[in-house]
Chain A
Amino acid sequence: MSVSLLWAVDVYGRVYSLSTGGQQWEQCHDAVLEFKRVTAVQQCCWGIACDHHIYLNVHSSDVPIRYQEETYENQRWNPKDNFSDHLLPSDRWHWSDITGLEHQPLDSFLLPSTNWEWEGDWYIDENFGGEPTEKGGWTYALDFPATYTKDKKWNSCVRRRRWIRYRRYKATDTWAKIPSEGHSGPLPDPFNDISCGGWEISEEPRGRLSLWAVSLQGKVWFREGIHHHSPEGEGWEEVSLPGEVVQISCGPGDLVWAVLWEGQLIVREGITRDCPQGSSWVVVDSPNPEAGAIHVAVGDNVVWAVTKDNKVWFRRGINSHNPCGSGWIGMVGEMVMVNVGLNDQVWGISCVDRAVYFRQGVTSSELSGKAWKAVNVPRDGDIRSHSSASISSLHSAGCFFSGEVQAQSVMSEDLDTEGGPQRAVLEVGACPSSPPPEPPPIDPDVPKPRIPKVTSDSFISEMLSDREVKQEGATAAKCPPPALVLSPSLSGGLGDPQWSNVDLEETQTHLAVGPAVVRGDSADTCSLSSVATYTLCQGEPYGADEHPLWAWVSGGGCGVNCHSQLNWFNSATALASSVQSMSLSISPAQTAAWRKQIFEQLSERSKREMDHFKHYEQAVEQSVWVKKGAMQWWRDWKPHKWVDVRFALEQFSGPEGNQDGILFLYYNFNEEKKYLHAFINEVTILVPVLNDSKHTFAVYTAERTKQRWPIRLAAATEVEMHDWLALLSVSCCDSRGIQGPPSKQAIWSVTCKGDIFVCEPSPSLEACPYPTPCDQMFWRQVGGHLRLVECNSLGVVWGVGYDHTAWVYTGYGGGFFQGLASSTDNIFTQTDVKCVYIYENQRWNPVTGYTNRGLPTDRYMWSDATGLQECTKANAKPPSPHWTWVADWTIDYGISGGTDREGWQYAADFPRSYHGHKTLKDFVRRRRWARKCKLTTTGPWQEVPPIPLSDVTIVLCGAQSSVEPIPLWAISNKGDVLCRLGVTLLTPAGTSWLHVGTDQPFKSISIGGANQVWAIARDGSAFYRGSVSSESPAGDCWYHIPCPERQKLQQVSVGRTSVYTVDQNGNLWFRQGLTPSYPQGSSWEHICNNVRKVSVGPLDQVWIIADKVQGSHSLSCGTVCHRLGVQPMEPKGQSWDYGIGGGWDHITVRGNSIEAPRVRMPSLTPSLTSSLTDPLRPPPPRSLLPVMITEMENGNAVRC
């Protein structure tokens, strides 16, 4: 779980943050000012300080915020000066923007604010559309504006070049003041409330946020232009209102609610991607007609409100179509304020003890949660800090509760009639200007006040039962007499405060009795809220650490959900357990003691009890065990269909005592009973294929891999399928003697379903000329779900999920099936998120324009990408039952080709290439809808937060080398190049990222032998990183490598010496002419086509994922292939050998450094041919020719 922060402000205006991984409030010491309110999102926190100005605290990241400024230098040729700055009067400016319309000299670029700094000076961009230019980056054209080329021609009359300079946001982890200026000068009045959110409205521009603010006069302002490259935003825009607003709340999506002075609530409508500030307000009445609302908090799908009587309310029926909801539900608990954070989790500040409470049990199905639980952790530097509570801060603390000050003063009037000592104490709370009493020295014998129970009924019972005891304690503390009544009542048992569960109206009436009883029983006139006032000062004698008094909390950046393990609720024991869990933590070094002891003793026991007695007879004779079941089988002959079969696994002990077995499949053919069998030790892989109609899996043998036609079986239920898979996979591993986690040399691969498989390479896998045929490789599944996985021969393995989360292999365990196949140690929960896409198609007709009535020959009006399958919003399902929807359908504007404002793409007819704007020739249009779904599974993977990745690579090395630290490079999902620091064998996750600057986003990277780093930019150009070494792990500069002619590169893999790339059209290229002195090489040589991915290993072995591989029944997409004949003098190899396939997406052989035993062969070529014309094998491997795909849809066990 990645660590995130909960932010809070105490009544003295001090800002604190609490980490989800921590157990202590950390004061934000940088805040020189006292703060009134904060509103946090994941990347930053906004706040209003007591000077009423708005401040921004951007959290630092390993990837800095940097913005590229660009300008163009234009020149014209004349016979006298050649190319010169003398332009024609009709020409553009000498320095201009790309269009030439804007005058942009270098010195016109100013930093937007003092929070920015220049990264360096201006320099010339020498990259032109993926091609390196020489000659100072000039591009030539006949005239302005025209098409530019990188070569100077005889008629090139003008030229231009691009200058770039980066500025960097420097004010991270510090509070930077935002000037309060509206569109027309400074804002008339200061700010009073602030709320940040709206990041789910649009992904464009990246990191876009909505910031809403309320001024003291009750006006609402919207901050424009906040996004990743402009964290401060651009300016304030006033939003018209139906009344005066006191407080506003903005959710992650399009939900915005505000509270009016009169106590009603208003809801913003019309918030869209194009109009994030919305268009109009709708008024919603306060939950309680007597007590108006004073506070509102919204999330994705929830609205919580607090009324003036401190009651908490939950709004029913909120969804994206109905931002107003349908009704209020009264909740248990009395709060000063509530805040909704990520995942609709709720935080509140109780008006009883001013502690921060977390709403437990909030899930997507139960958004109102179950109970409030106090966050009970100490604050850092407590002793020191409470004495520093200055008068001014106290004063400001009073101001902060403008809505409440009134109530307090009323109360103090009541209490004035009470006894003297109580008044003296209460004055501090009621009259903000009086100085706090000096805290007496803390007496260790004084019983510490404990977390109060807050349920009103338990509140009462505590009060009745505990009073006697507490009185003594309180007297010992020399507290003023009234404390005897009040402070004990607040001191509950040590158990968790449990607020009763269901909160409908009747519980409310019951609740209302609470304070009344308190009053009557204790003969005290103070209300429950006066208790809160009282605690304000009562905390002082005990030391502030026991009663943190909070004023504001913001969970908008706090990534918890109801399953999160938080150590916030019981500080003392949590500390103890964390110490304990240290000793039981997962790293092998620490577990070693007890586990090692058990392993050692068990082997000693075997020696002692069995070694000398092997000649004794066994008590139980070994026998054959048969497991039978009923299954369905996708039969081998046409017409293919599912037929019922009986299925049996016969297990027996092999000749050397090893387990072995045979699979039998009994079927009827023309009324005749027949069977099919497979030896367990010949099964090469078991592939689960879950879809929503059948629970199927595929069994491959070498022979069936060649045919691209596995035994496909379907079990009646998912449980049955998993039982069989678990048993079969154990049998397969047993028969091959494979146990334990994958070795460091293992080959890892990932299918298009995200399933992860490993193969233990045999020493002869890379033998030449007789390698193990790769259809005989045995693959076993590893738990988890990934899009790609990369490793090296030191056993460091990283993966990237479909949601771009980075994962590191925990190195131990690794069994796929819980309980049997392996231990559960180092197996963690893993989640992944991906989108399901459907297309809405429309055709134009002259009468009604575009409608959803197509021609009879047209595709479905709601379809998949091909148009062949009908897919509607209602019938589209997640990829398998393991996936669940986590959001509603949204229009996808990010589809290639671009869209118009409503997401439509236009074309002349289906199916054509689509473009994002309507022309006269277009008669059809489509738009893509996306819906997110989520998978929760387990596997030996741990998350590496916080930066999402799109590619990762780990340095190649030999099996014996001990590289420390281990170079690891990655590309973030935004295209930043990153270098991981601190990766070692003991800490494979490393410690932090080092950002490596590039002039454009990148997409693929690979680090080979001798620290050679190659990378591919998003525009398809290749780069070589110079001077990377162990001393300079990030290297010094990029060398632009020209692409192959007219091709844009897609992926790169660097071996010990070889460099291979794949381009966007599926061609595989080999880099010629690499030498140690000239590591960039000289040219690209075409190897073959139909390649999806390439992986080059430490032996320079070449493996690819290939498309369109011929099998007996069909062509197969996504097949693992091995380059044959790769030798030191012949790095390009000769031909391909085909392995497992049909839906494979990724392979990495970068761990396999097992060199084959050298066999001297007299002549290479004939022997190679003979090995390939072996009668058992299919026709010898051909080059991958493009063939029409015919049966692909049904032919493969695992479909793309």
Chain B
Amino acid sequence: MADDKDVLRDVWFGRIPTCFTLYQDEITEREAEPFYLLLPRVSYLTLVTDKVKKHFLKVMKAEDVEEMWFDFEGTPLKWHYPIGLLFDLHASNTALPWSITVHFKNFPERDLLHCPSNSVIEAHFMSSIKEADALKHKSQVINDMQKKDHKQLWMGLQNDKFDQFWAMNRKLMEYPTEEGGFRYIPFRIYLTMSDRPFIQKLFRPISSDGYTHTLGDLLKEVYPMAISSDDESKRYQVVIHGIEPLLETPLQWLSEHLSHPDNFLHISVIPAPSD
């Protein structure tokens, strides 16, 4: 039987084959070839698309280039969501490779945050980790770490170094044995059809009387719509890292194994394919 450690690796090394095409209205000097890339699911779009930028800049004039941004089928893609989440949320039932359109103009100020440099991503990433640890350990673990430890987490993500990242991240995943889990599970539930960006609440992995909460319990509490009753056909898919875990999966286990590097469990609730 495979070890749970393998799950961490599978999660980390998840890749989405992507085809980047330049938006048709962009002004180019010659025709832009599409660019193909394997994107790490756990990383951020603007962190791993230097090659894409370089590729398209070759065919463009410098004065026509503003900040790069992406859309999928008209939906601007938020760089501050992990790539895997963006894919699950918007494209999980579409054909591969994932087709992303690249823009260099008309930055959608209302939909996207600016990302002038990697330090912005780093700041966003670290603040997520800190928020998650505040939920899990009242920030005790992250505050005990040194600056270089924080750097190691970030560098691990930036350079796609599993060991480097997990050597530090494992501390964030520890908890006192007698408590049986974190204080609260850092999670966010995303709904494609809602105006709210996501749902986030305080939710404990173990109830006060010792009951182990499952993914199903969380959804029942937070978004009962996502669970279809027995007699109706499935209306929603609950997707984490491109898979649909069973509803009886313990939440604590999910948080330890299927969280993104930002230490949040990003759960997408998407309409089930209608076929």
A→B interface (CB under 8 Å) = 563, 565, 567, 570, 573-574, 576-577, 580-581, 583-584, 588, 593-595, 597-599, 601-606, 608-610, 612-613, 616-620, 622-623, 625, 627, 651, 659, 723, 726-727, 730-731, 734, 739-741, 812-813, 815, 817-825, 829, 938
Contacts and interface: CB of A to CB of B under 8 A. Distances in A.
12 contacts: A574-B209, A584-B248, A605-B14, A609-B17, A610-B38, A617-B36, A618-B38, A625-B159, A726-B170, A818-B174, A820-B166, A823-B3
Interface string B149-173: 0000001001111011011011101
Given A602-B243, A605-B242, A938-B177, A616 B37 contact: yes
B97 A613 contact: yes
Contacts of A623: 159
A697 to B, nearest CB: 16
A577 B250 CA distance: 13
Contacts of B171: 819
Interface string B39-56: 110010000110100000
A819 B7 CA distance: 12
A30 B159 CA distance: 71
A606 B40 contact: no
B261 to A, nearest CB: 13
B5 interface: yes
Interface in B7-59: 7, 10-11, 14-17, 36-40, 43, 48-49, 51
Given A594-B245, A817-B170, A580 B212 contact: yes
Contact of A574 (B16, B163, B210, B249): B210
B4 A619 contact: no
B256 interface: yes
Nearest to B249: A594
B210 A565 contact: yes
Contacts of A651: 161, 163-164
Given A609-B15, A726-B170, A616 B3 contact: no
B4 A625 contact: no
Contacts of A726: 167, 170
A280 to B, nearest CB: 44
A584 B251 CA distance: 12
Given A599-B7, A740-B6, A819-B171, A610 B211 contact: no
Nearest to B160: A620
B48 A740 contact: no
Contacts of A598: 7, 243, 245, 249, 257-258
B97 A619 contact: no
A581 B212 contact: yes
Q: How large is the interface on B (under 10, 10 to 19, 20 to 34, 35 or more residues)?
A: 35 or more
Residue of A584, A619, A622, A824 contacting most chain B CB atoms (<10 Å)? A619
Contacts, number: 178
Given A601-B243, A739-B3, 15 more contacts: A570-B209, A584-B248, A594-B245, A610-B14, A613-B38, A616-B17, A616-B36, A617-B36, A627-B164, A727-B163, A727-B167, A740-B1, A819-B166, A819-B169, A823-B4
Contact of A584 (B14, B178, B250): B250
Contacts of A823: 3-5, 256-257
Contacts of B253: 825
B193 interface: no
Nearest to B206: A577
A824 B256 contact: yes
Contacts of B6: 599, 739-740
B97 A822 contact: no
A164 B72 CA distance: 90
B34 to A, nearest CB: 12
B202 interface: no
A619 B243 contact: no
A759 to B, nearest CB: 18
A977 to B, nearest CB: 35
Contacts of B167: 627, 723, 726-727, 730, 820
Contacts of B225: none
A577 B244 CA distance: 25
B35 to A, nearest CB: 9
Given A577-B211, A610-B15, A620-B48, A594 B163 contact: no
Contacts of A741: 3
Contacts of B163: 625, 651, 659, 727, 730-731, 734
Contacts of B14: 605-606, 609-610
Nearest to A496: B208
A605 B15 CA distance: 9
Interface in B192-242: 207, 209-212, 241-242
B62 interface: no
A740 B3 contact: yes
Contacts of A824: 256
B160 A622 contact: yes
A627 B11 CA distance: 23
Contacts of A813: 3-4
A563 B179 CA distance: 10
Given A601-B243, A609-B242, A613-B97, A573 B159 contact: no
A619 B177 contact: no
A585 to B, nearest CB: 10
B95 to A, nearest CB: 11
Nearest to B98: A609
Nearest to A829: B177
Contacts of A616: 17, 36-38, 97
Nearest to A596: B1
B42 to A, nearest CB: 11
The 7 closest A-B pairs by CB, nearest first: A823-B4, A819-B170, A613-B17, A601-B243, A820-B170, A740-B3, A619-B48
Contacts of B241: 602, 605
Residue of B4, B159, B174 contacting most chain A CB atoms (<10 Å)? B4
A6 B247 CA distance: 38
Nearest to A626: B164
Residue of A563, A581, A819 contacting most chain B CB atoms (<10 Å)? A819
A593 B160 contact: no
Given A609-B17, A730-B167, A822 B4 contact: yes
A603 B7 CA distance: 10
A609 B96 contact: yes
Contacts of A601: 242-245
Contacts of A612: 17, 96
A651 B163 CA distance: 9
A818 B243 contact: no
A1046 to B, nearest CB: 52
A900 B275 CA distance: 89
Given A740-B6, A741-B3, A822-B4, A619 B209 contact: no
Contacts of A609: 14-17, 96, 242
Residue of B6, B48, B163, B243 contacting most chain A CB atoms (<10 Å)? B163
A653 to B, nearest CB: 10
Nearest to A569: B209
Contacts of B209: 570, 573-574, 576-577
Contacts of B96: 608-609, 612-613
A593 B209 CA distance: 25
A731 B11 CA distance: 19
A369 B97 CA distance: 62
Contacts of B250: 584, 594
Contacts of B2: 599, 740
Contacts of B160: 620, 622
Nearest to B240: A598
A598 B49 CA distance: 30
A821 B14 CA distance: 19
Contacts of A822: 3-5
